[in-house]
Amino acid sequence: MTSYLFAWLLFLGLSLGAMANLMLHNVTGGPWFAAVRAPFLAATRLVPLAALLGLPILFAVRAIYPWAQGGGAAWLSPAFFVARSIVYLAVWTALALLLRANGGKGLSAVGLIVHTFTVSLAAVDWIGSLVPQWYSTAFGLIVGTGQMLGAMALAVAFAGLRGPLRRGPEAHGTFIDLGNLLLMYVLLWAYLAYSEFLIIWVGNLPREIAWYVPRLQTGWFGLGVFLVVVHFFAPLVILLFRAVKRAPALLGSVAALLLAAHVADVYWLIAPSVRPQAFSIAWGDVAALAVAAALWFLLWRPRHA
């Protein structure tokens, strides 16, 4: 079930990230959206299905979360956890349906606030509570930013490698904007993740370091190094070059690399919490990821958006 949790959160996160980027454009505008409109709309349409696929998690709360085995705080009671989760899923489904029917600026402005609040709470509930003694006020923002980065990377990879707007006089300007947006998300994600780590490292309190101990003092450290390099340093350096952002195929390849790093990031958020002794990849992780990827690309149809 933890393997299912990983694959489901990846599937759900790409859908929610696409919906958030869609709302962001509705509020701010910009010609860059034409190149990624189809993949964003196609992913947003999958939010109701992603919400439905979360129901098995709610039936397996006691099998996944250590706090559900005994009496804990009222907030971490199975019944209240399930009730909150249903609210999150219902709110996101309603928001996706409303955006599909009438995605105006007012709805998107309110929707971004609701999205940020609910994603932050859900991240703490579904991911953070795997280590129930740990807490972080920045964790929800890190997860939400990662979702928007992953969805943007997916959309830019599609636009750069397969999209219909790769050529023409306006293509260079559009892809420069998309490259700058990718760079912005990379920097924001890195800033939030590093700030959280630095504050916890300086404090060095047992309750606060519980999240990082298995990630820094076991074989999971290697995955952390991979994320620092592939999710931050490499795209940061590459996206500083204007020539990369002016070449759709090259920018699409960088975005594809970021998408792969996003998959690793979601795994990093979950697996070390349930296997803290040493780095390991269970067969269920591979199977769940393969099924989720197949389901995603079967249902995600940007060419028909």
Length of the chain: 305
pLDDT at 304: 43
Residue 73: CB partners within 8 Å, gap ≥ 6? none
Tell me which of 136 and 13 has the higher pLDDT.
Answer: 13
pLDDT of residue 10: 95
Residue range of the domain that includes 238: 2-304
97 pLDDT band (50/70/90 cuts)?
A: very high
What is the enclosing helix (H) or strand (E) of 301? none
Per-residue CA distances from 118 to 49, 70, 124 (Å): 18, 26, 10
Q: How many domains does the chain have?
A: 1
How confident is the model over 243-293, as pLDDT tens digits?
898 888 899 999 999 999 999 999 999 999 999 998 988 999 999 999 999
Q: Which one, of 144, 93, 175, lies nearest residue 262 by Cα?
A: 144
Beta-carbon contacts of 34 under 8 Å, excluding residues fewer than 6 positions away, are: 165, 174
Do the beta carbons of residue 1 and residue 63 sit within 8 Å?
yes
Where residue 102 falls among pLDDT bands split at 50, 70, 90?
confident
Say if residue 84's pLDDT is above 90.
Answer: yes
Model pTM above 0.75: yes
**Separation CA 273–CA 299 (nearest Å):** 31
pLDDT tens digits, one per residue of 4-31:
999 999 999 999 999 999 999 999 988 8
Mean pLDDT, rounded, for 82-92: 95
For residue 293, what are the CA distances in angstroms to 238, 289, 298?
27, 6, 8
* pLDDT over 80 (residue 298): yes
The average pLDDT across 43-56 equals 94
Of the chain, the percentage scoring pLDDT greater than 90 comes to 68
